[in-house]
Chains A and B, each alone.
Chain A
């Protein structure tokens, strides 16, 4: 980190055509930045100001969802957050359930948490892999993306799809846990625990990685609070806050887990905390597989709507066929909010119903969008060569921020 730190007020008064500073455009054609553009003002190679220009992959998810039936919003929100679709699905359904006033049975709650934790591991591996390629290590990129596969296979076994599950519906989940899932999951978890040691050897404790990330991109605790950053990035700065603990949903009230918190808030801590959270997720998956209660996977209100053929399928295959009345879902007038801790942070939903067949207002905020202040506040004062380390460490995903 440089001695000379510019304050933001000074940087904000600069004009883009100012002769003294070099204006560098990083992106938007995916040079490692993702589909976004960073306009960087440079003094020599010291960053003076960063202006994140987002919106290149804005897919108007709010607009589309306000003009469709309630249940059709599920695939839309899933396709925004591809690395952890289950959380987008879950948080939307939680908000709809609050409007409808239905509560899923305990087994469905556990299955939701199970899917969410498997998905969190794949999301963190994705983040670690991208961080690896940003720092120039293609090995850890290949490893992380390869190690996602066993977990994606588990999800395929559970939900029938690899990435876009549409697994969670109002009132419960669509598939029960198949035979042989527990044994398969245990094998995968043991494999991942072995691999985590390899990751520590080649990546986490690697002196090159430490040299490039320690004391780089420091987000202080007070700044993290006032700028409202979320998820692992927030906890790396020393704030003890996890939506699973403080606003519990699904089965997290019954599960025993720790929330890892770091002190320094630099890029290295943000890497470490993702590794720690993978360990906690493994611990939670084991608990769920051990403690999962028997019973229905769908609430009685929804079950009663099934026709005799669907009920037969449900009894034989433990699979909920989509009841036709789902498309005519009309939640009573009112508004509901829901919050879910996704892999990258907190998803927020605000939904307003007027009793119509479409949502009147559909608002959601994704974690990457709330992590944008990292560019405007943290990158300032560093050398340009540190920008990939900062970018990679916050696990930013442009399509998710643009929605």
Chain B
């Protein structure tokens, strides 16, 4: 199978660097994500290794790293399926507990791929709590590791600030 040909049928933006084992498929429109994932699965990429976000000043890139256990020639390949979503503007809201205006950073929304790859379920929960990515259609999108006082804190975003952070660091 010619992987490059097959992948370019899924999306126009394909990066392949065999020497560095870098394979990346970028989907522009989040609504086409599930179709792309189903195509990749029918190629033989059958499990998710990692789901993560990358925070940029204006957007969040969500990356699924997938690989194969069942197709012999794909076992050496680790493919990234990426989609970028624009971040909504942060806004100030009144917080009754603190009795003050606080800066809220609204979450972004992408479709969940758990229906295609069940192996991504825990990974997507982690990306949700760390980056504020709501995976629409995830059967059980709850906080996984963070305690309750990190509610909507999205700690792996670059603009994360926490009241206790200075105490911890110094």
Give the distance to chain A from B43, nearest Cβ to Cβ, in Å: 14
Is the CB–CB distance between B47 and A226 below 8 Å? Answer: yes
- List chain A residues, Cβ under 8 A from B117: 226, 228
Determine if A54 is an interface residue (Cβ-Cβ < 8 Å): yes
Q: Which residue of A lies closest to B123 (CB)?
A: A365
Is the CB–CB distance between A98 and B145 below 8 Å? Answer: no
List CB contacts (< 8 Å) of B53-97 with chain A.
Answer: 54-55, 63, 65, 69-70, 75-76, 78, 80
Is the CB–CB distance between B145 and A228 below 8 Å? Answer: no
Give the distance to chain B from A6, nearest Cβ to Cβ, in Å: 17
Is the CB–CB distance between A58 and B155 below 8 Å? Answer: no
Is the CB–CB distance between A241 and B65 below 8 Å? Answer: no
> Of A336, A346, A360, A361, which one neighbours B20 at CB under 8 angstroms?
A336
List CB contacts (< 8 Å) of B101-145 with chain A.
Answer: 117-123, 130, 139-140, 144-145
Instruction: State the total of A-B contacts with C-beta under 8 angstroms.
Output: 88
Bound state CA distance, A336 and B119, in angstroms?
22
Interface size bracket, A side: 35 or more
Q: Report A342-366 CB contacts with B as 1/0, cut-off 8 Å.
A: 0000101010100000001101010
Give the distance to chain A from B87, nearest Cβ to Cβ, in Å: 16
Bound state CA distance, A326 and B30, in angstroms?
40
- List chain B residues, Cβ under 8 A from A363: 50, 52
Q: Report A66-80 CB contacts with B as 1/0, cut-off 8 Å.
A: 100000000000000
Bound state CA distance, A49 and B125, in angstroms?
19
> Of B63, B119, B140, which one neighbours A227 at CB under 8 angstroms?
B119
Q: Report A254-290 CB contacts with B as 1/0, cut-off 8 Å.
A: 0000000000000000000000000000000000000
Is the CB–CB distance between A337 and B65 below 8 Å? Answer: yes
Bound state CA distance, A48 and B145, in angstroms?
23
Interface size bracket, B side: 35 or more
Is the CB–CB distance between B22 and A336 below 8 Å? Answer: yes
Bound state CA distance, A241 and B47, in angstroms?
13
Given known contacts A58-B146, A372-B122, is B22 in contact with A241 (CB within 8 Å)?
no
Given known contacts A62-B156, A247-B21, is B123 in contact with A234 (CB within 8 Å)?
no
Is the CB–CB distance between B78 and A365 below 8 Å? Answer: no
Given known contacts A225-B47, A226-B118, is B78 in contact with A339 (CB within 8 Å)?
yes
Given known contacts A228-B48, A247-B78, is B145 in contact with A234 (CB within 8 Å)?
no
- List chain A residues, Cβ under 8 A from B118: 226-228, 373
Give the distance to chain B from A174, nearest Cβ to Cβ, in Å: 25
Given known contacts A98-B20, A336-B22, is B139 in contact with A12 (CB within 8 Å)?
yes
Bound state CA distance, A247 and B63, in angstroms?
21
- List chain B residues, Cβ under 8 A from A335: 22
Determine if B27 is an interface residue (Cβ-Cβ < 8 Å): no
Is the CB–CB distance between B122 and A369 below 8 Å? Answer: yes
- List chain A residues, Cβ under 8 A from B20: 98, 336
Bound state CA distance, A337 and B22, in angstroms?
8
Q: Which residue of A lies closest to B129 (CB)?
A: A55
Known: A63-B156, A241-B69, A373-B121. 11 other contacts (CB 8 A): A55-B146, A63-B155, A226-B118, A247-B78, A337-B80, A350-B52, A360-B54, A361-B54, A369-B122, A370-B122, A402-B145
Mind listing 12 A-B residue pairs with CB under 8 Å? Answer: A62-B156, A63-B155, A98-B20, A224-B69, A225-B46, A228-B117, A246-B75, A247-B75, A346-B49, A348-B78, A370-B49, A402-B145
B: which residues have CB within 8 A of A?
A: 20-22, 46-50, 52, 54-55, 63, 65, 69-70, 75-76, 78, 80, 117-123, 130, 139-140, 144-147, 155-156
A: which residues have CB within 8 A of B?
A: 12, 54-55, 58, 60, 62-63, 66, 98, 224-228, 234, 239, 241, 246-247, 335-337, 339, 346, 348, 350, 352, 360-361, 363, 365, 369-370, 372-373, 402
